[in-house]
């Protein structure tokens, strides 16, 4: 039996309790300062209000002010389930308290931007913890097509776990695998993380045609918008492969679970595809935020705001060819400049 601590009691962090608990491990779910009501519900009823399911036996809930207590009980694995904006906060919580070399596994998806560079989140976490004197800590990630509600309901789910340290992917895959949660090991941490982050970003564009369809009179033959959505899906994979190559990852991950698999499921449902729908209907991002997504974290849009300025600099410096990323440019223009999302159809599939 292994002790696992999960920091972040949102939908995905909480759903992630199921595989290790089902495998017989002890799980400590620690909420952030934003999760107080959810943690209280789990304590009183065992049910997470957003997932609407009862958590399995073996899961203990802790409030954010009990993080030190939960950490001090001893854990062989620490899982970060906060959203991307909460990563600096998580580092601040971990830094003063973390002892030893307990590996960290990130559910959080996103990229960290520096002035002229883009960094995967595990590297950003390592850099942040190094300021507290914590060196040589293994930080990896898990990614793939995984909707939290389906995971909590026991649907068959296949994911990939990646670390730069060759010893850890196999161990964690063995640790978490159950009859319905299938974990594949990988050492391509960069490729897996870039794909996992960018799938949210590109889902904004793939969701656009459905919004456009809703604004048109129905076709006489009831034609849908699958053709343009499929073309945008393909362009997204092309550009993801270019990003992975630029950042030093393996392009094979783009056609795997973290790339094509996760992009597919993200385009089927969720906040990113819904935001794309509203952008496709003609609304600008500021209007979408104000009228439809006011209380939602849209990871793809948050990522656009992070990497948009860096991409502009990389294009201007000649380190990236803007002709190779026409869809990324359209998305960042829509989010960062609050412009209408215009799909550059003639520029797609040209490079």
What does each C-alpha distance from 293 to 60, 193, 198, 275, 341 come to in angstroms? Answer: 32, 25, 20, 8, 17
Q: 199 catalytic, yes or no?
A: yes
Q: From the candidates 52, 199, 252, 323, which is the catalytic residue?
A: 199
Question: Which residues are tagged catalytic?
Answer: 199
């Amino acid at each position: 039996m292994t002790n696992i601590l999960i920091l972040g009691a949102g939908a995905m962090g909480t759903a992630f309790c199921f595989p290790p608990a089902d495998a017989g491990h002890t799980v400590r779910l620690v909420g952030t300062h934003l999760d107080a009501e959810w943690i209280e519900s789990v304590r009183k009823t065992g049910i997470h209000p957003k997932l609407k399911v009862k958590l399995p036996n073996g899961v203990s809930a802790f409030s954010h002010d009990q993080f030190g207590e939960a950490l001090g009980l001893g854990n062989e694995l620490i899982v970060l389930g906060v959203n991307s904006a909460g990563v600096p906060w998580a580092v601040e919580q971990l830094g003063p308290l973390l002892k030893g070399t307990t590996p960290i596994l990130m559910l959080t998806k996103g990229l960290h931007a520096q002035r002229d560079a883009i960094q995967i989140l595990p590297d950003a976490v390592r850099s942040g913890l190094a300021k507290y004197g914590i060196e040589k800590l293994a930080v990896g990630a898990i990614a793939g097509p995984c909707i939290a509600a389906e995971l909590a309901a026991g649907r068959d789910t296949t994911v990939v776990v990646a670390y730069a340290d060759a010893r850890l992917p196999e161990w964690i895959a063995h640790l978490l695998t159950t009859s319905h949660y299938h974990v594949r090991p990988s050492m391509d941490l960069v490729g897996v993380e870039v794909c996992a982050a960018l799938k949210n970003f590109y889902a904004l564009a793939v969701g656009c045609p459905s919004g456009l369809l809703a604004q048109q009179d129905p076709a006489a033959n009831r034609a849908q918008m699958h053709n343009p959505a499929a073309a945008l899906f393909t362009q997204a994979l092309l550009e993801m492969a270019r990003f992975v190559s630029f950042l030093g990852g393996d392009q094979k991950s783009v056609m795997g679970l973290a790339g094509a698999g996760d992009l597919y499921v993200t385009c089927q449902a969720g906040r990113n595809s819904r935001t794309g729908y509203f952008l496709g209907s003609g609304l600008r991002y500021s209007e979408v935020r104000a009228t439809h997504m006011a209380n939602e974290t849209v990871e793809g849009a948050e990522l656009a705001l992070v990497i948009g300025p860096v991409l502009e600099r990389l294009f201007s410096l000649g380190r990236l060819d803007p002709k190779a990323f026409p869809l990324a440019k359209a998305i960042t223009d829509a989010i960062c400049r609050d412009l209408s999302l215009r799909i550059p159809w003639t520029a797609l599939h040209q490079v």
